[in-house]
Structure 1
């Protein structure tokens, strides 16, 4: 994975109140995107299976977070985790999203 990809990945995380690294066919990703949408969040979503450097971005995320799966969710530059982590924080999400400037 190139330094440029690592920088691009970090830039996505830094510049967006909510960043979701996803794959279009993943049911867990769909559940996360659906929950955020219900909360009225305009998340930055990148479908790793639909971009040329998706595998490299996923490798960069693994290096940053030790998480190899999608969705890989960041709120306010903080790594939240995957779908089960997001769903477990359902009651905390509105406050976290407000604080991140996403609501």
Structure 2
């Protein structure tokens, strides 16, 4: 049941971050995304009644146990280090734009 719920959330959101409110890596990844103007859904697993089940489902879906666990346009990006690396190598912003998770203001 949790797998279906998590899969649906991933499919319905251009950008989704599965996070824990107290996790410093989650905070860093969310701050980076916010600084880029990214809009998306953030699920704080520690504040969800079925958060533990959702995290177990994420392991099944992404093979990643840790948070943050980030998906863009249904594709698993990874965690904080993966997000920072994608930003450094110039692929993060294009992925976010392609997904519609960044509002582009034309001059």
TM-score by length of 2: 0.91
Give the Å deviation of 1:94.
Answer: 1.1
Residue 47 of structure 1: how far off its partner (Å): 0.3
Matched residue of 2:21: which SS?
Answer: coil
The unaligned stretches of length 5 or more in structure 2 are 103-107
Could you list the structure 1 runs, at least 4 aligned residues long, displaced by more than 3 angstroms after superposition.
none
Q: Return the alpha-carbon distance in structure 1 between the equivalents of residues 16 and 73 of structure 2.
A: 9
C-alpha distance in structure 1 between counterparts of 2:3 and 2:46, whole Å: 17
Q: Give the conservation status (yes or no) of the 8 Å contact 1:24–1:49.
A: yes
Q: Is the 8 A contact 1:36 1:43 kept in 2?
A: no
Partner of 1:102: helix, strand, or coil? Answer: coil
Partner residue of 1:70 out of 67, 70, 73: 67
CA-based RMSD of the aligned residues comes to 0.6
The aligned counterpart of 1:100 is: 99
Partner deviation per Cα, 1:1-38 (whole Å, 9 max, x = no partner): xxx21111001100000000000000000000000000
**How many residues end up aligned between the 2 structures?**
100
Map 1:41-80; keep pairs closer than 5 Å.
41-80=38-77
2:21 equivalent to 1:24: yes
What is the TM-score normalised by the length of structure 1?
0.95
**CA distance, structure 2, for counterparts of residue 27 and residue 16 of structure 1:** 23
Write the mapping of 1:75-94 to structure 2, written as runs, cut at 5 A. Answer: 75-90=72-87, 91-94=90-93
